[in-house]
Amino acid sequence: VKRILVLGLVMFFLCSLCLRAEAKVIKLSYANFPPASTFPCVQMERFKQEVEKRTNGQVIIQTYPGGTLLGAKNMFRGVIAGQADIGCLVMSYQPGVFPLTTVCELPLGFKSAKVASMVLWEIFQKYHPKEFARVKVLTVFTSAPSNLMSKKPIKSLKDLKGVPIRAAGAAGKIVEILGGAPIALPMSETPEAIQKGVAKGLLTSFEVLKDLNFAAYLPYGTITNFQVYPFAVVMNKDKWNSLPERIKKVFNELGKEQALWTGRYMDNHIQEALGYAKKKYGFKLFTLPQQDMDLAREKLKILIDNWKKRAETKGLPAEKILQDVYKFKAKYEQ
């Protein structure tokens, strides 16, 4: 009898310990707009795994790819309102909302997602952009430099004239300046536009040839390396403030590492996607003639001037920010 009593007591304590641990599990929702196969969602799953591992399961993240919780255009507002705890947004989808950090979507000659992601990270650390004051920024990253994918070959700027090309934010301006007809849709609405033939091309990083199977519709590519699309992963501020310090520490330590991981994943994945597109669909790559590249660079300078003017009207030290971008870029390119 005594033994049974002791055993019962031990079990009671074990159970109550378990229950208490259970009660302390923090569940967070993480919203993303594009399909699960795409790089923003691949990095989301990696982020989830790292957080769960590093908090010993104290934090559980439920992921919602494909716009099932929040869409591309209401991501920022949705997280601020608390509809999702965490959300992944593209700054280019909401022109005017991010006057400082869109410095990183200017055609500044980034050659990799890794370098551009690190530069974006450093700019956040140095300037604490006011436009993100209402959320906690968990990590940032960018796509790889944008290239053209099209139904018909684009071998010169002349071939681009009047062609409807899906491109958002600064990328849309680039298409416009170079004589194309930009269609400003987020990536989540792009498959339909391509399949219906509303858009006859796309200006973004090449990995979507595989991840969204665009190679089936767009068998031609043109290397331009114009700009990158900057992303931010943000958390609802009240939710952030409610987290225990040791959990906050896990997130804070993960931010830069996650940016680097995503940049690297993107750069490697581009090569894989190009191989897939070539093998499966005979995807063909072109480069623009040097004189067209020079002309494009000359024409696109106005975007940098325009960004500076807009940033200055917002009271930002535009020239200093731009010089820092160049400085960080040189640092990480080494």
Residues at the site binding ligand 3IO, with contacts judged by CB under 6 A: 34, 38-40, 90, 143, 168, 186-187, 204-205, 208, 229
Minimum CB distance to ligand 3IO smaller for 37 or for 58: 37
Instruction: Give me the phi and psi of 9, to 5 degrees please.
Output: -60, -45
Contact yes or no for 36/188 (Cβ under 8 A): no
Q: How many residues does the chain have?
A: 334
Q: What does the buried/exposed string (b/e) look like for 251-280 if buried means 16 or more CB atoms within 10 Å of the residue's CB?
A: beebbbebbbbbbebbbebbeebbebbbee
Q: What is the largest CA-CA distance in the chain?
A: 94
Closest distance of CB 83 from ligand 3IO, Å? 20
Minimum CB distance to ligand 3IO smaller for 186 or for 219: 186
Closest distance of CB 309 from ligand 3IO, Å? 25
- Bridge partners, residue 148, by sequence: 203, 222
With tokens 């140095």, the residue in question is 126
Minimum CB distance to ligand 3IO smaller for 163 or for 316: 163
Closest distance of CB 7 from ligand 3IO, Å? 56
Exposed / middle / buried, residue 6 (Cβ in 10 Å: 0-12, 13-18, 19+) = exposed
Q: Quick one: which H or E segment has residue 114?
A: helix 113-127
Taking the C-alpha atoms of residue 200 and residue 166, their distance in angstroms, rounded to an integer, is 8
Taking the C-alpha atoms of residue 234 and residue 139, their distance in angstroms, rounded to an integer, is 7
Exposed / middle / buried, residue 310 (Cβ in 10 Å: 0-12, 13-18, 19+) = middle
Taking the C-alpha atoms of residue 222 and residue 147, their distance in angstroms, rounded to an integer, is 6
Minimum CB distance to ligand 3IO smaller for 29 or for 205: 205
C-alpha Rg value of the chain to the nearest Å: 23
Closest distance of CB 186 from ligand 3IO, Å? 6
Minimum CB distance to ligand 3IO smaller for 29 or for 262: 262
Minimum CB distance to ligand 3IO smaller for 101 or for 204: 204
- Bridge partners, residue 26, by sequence: 59
Closest distance of CB 270 from ligand 3IO, Å? 10
Minimum CB distance to ligand 3IO smaller for 26 or for 177: 177
Contact yes or no for 230/129 (Cβ under 8 A): no
Please give the distance of CA 243 from its chain centroid, rounded to a whole number.
Answer: 25
Minimum CB distance to ligand 3IO smaller for 67 or for 99: 67
What type of residue sits at position 47?
Answer: F
Minimum CB distance to ligand 3IO smaller for 210 or for 239: 210
